[in-house]
């Protein structure tokens, strides 16, 4: 009798183990599928180098209408899109600080885009960007054109074209490339249109 119970327990353990293996394989497959979908979603929201964009348009924090003409020949414009409650934006601020220092040293233009519309003075002071222009209420056209749906987003524009775009937390390589673009060391070839 004890042998039969012992064998039953062993069989149950084997069955439970087999079920766990099947469940783990299906979960891994589901996670890979979800990861692929998310990468595709982020890719859809990312701006491609060479894309021509119209001026940023919206309201500043005081409610005044604001246009940022990136087609003017004043050099690269650094656009940082964030939300004060975004954890990934908080992780990205050290990267942005490096780019801001580099852009400030060249007297380059930087524009902050608060997608929440709720940024406060304390947040801007904390990141030492209180003197920079902040778009806090964006026109629908700007949101669609610049694909401002995911934060953090870092965009470099020059002559009305995207020179570089990063969605999410930047890597050290991303920061180095962005800095090179801001310094004019990396040229962007315009994207060929279908008509060419």
138, part of any domain: yes
Do 17 and 58 have their domain in common?
no
Residue 152, preceding peptide bond in cis (omega within 30° of 0): yes
Q: At 163, is the secondary structure helix, strand, or coil?
A: strand
Domain count, the chain: 2
The parent domain of residue 117 ranges over 49-182
Q: pTM to 2 decimals?
A: 0.73
CB-based contact 163:99 (threshold 8 Å): no
37 and 5 co-located in one domain = yes
The reported pLDDT for the residue numbered 43 is: 56
Evaluated on CA atoms 100, 105, 110, 112, the torsion sign reads positive
Cα(36)–Cα(168) distance, rounded to whole angstroms?
A: 16
How confident is the model at residue 190, as a pLDDT? 42
Question: If you count them, how many residues does the chain have?
Answer: 196
Q: What is the pLDDT of residues 13-48, one digit of tens each?
A: 888 788 888 888 887 877 777 666 655 555 556 788
Query: In terms of DSSP bridges, do strands 134-138 and 65-68 run parallel, antiparallel, or are they unpaired?
Result: unpaired
């Amino acid at each position: 009798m004890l042998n039969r119970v012992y064998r039953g327990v062993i069989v149950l353990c084997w069955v439970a183990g087999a079920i766990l293996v099947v469940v783990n394989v299906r979960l891994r497959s589901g996670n890979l599928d979800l990861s692929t979908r998310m990468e595709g979603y982020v890719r859809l929201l990312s701006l491609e180098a060479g894309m021509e964009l119209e001026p940023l348009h919206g309201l500043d924090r005081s409610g005044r209408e604001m246009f940022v003409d990136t087609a003017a020949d004043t050099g690269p414009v650094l656009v940082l899109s964030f939300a004060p409650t975004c954890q990934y934006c908080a992780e990205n601020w050290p990267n942005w600080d490096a780019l801001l220092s580099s852009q400030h040293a060249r007297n380059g233009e930087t524009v902050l885009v608060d997608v929440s519309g709720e940024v406060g003075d304390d947040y801007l002071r904390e990141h030492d960007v209180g003197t920079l222009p902040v778009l806090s209420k964006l026109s629908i056209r700007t949101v669609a054109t610049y694909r401002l749906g995911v934060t953090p987003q870092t965009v470099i524009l020059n002559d009305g074209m995207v020179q570089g775009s990063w969605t999410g937390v930047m890597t050290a390589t991303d920061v180095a490339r962005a800095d090179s673009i801001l310094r004019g060391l990396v040229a962007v070839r315009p994207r060929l249109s279908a008509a060419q």
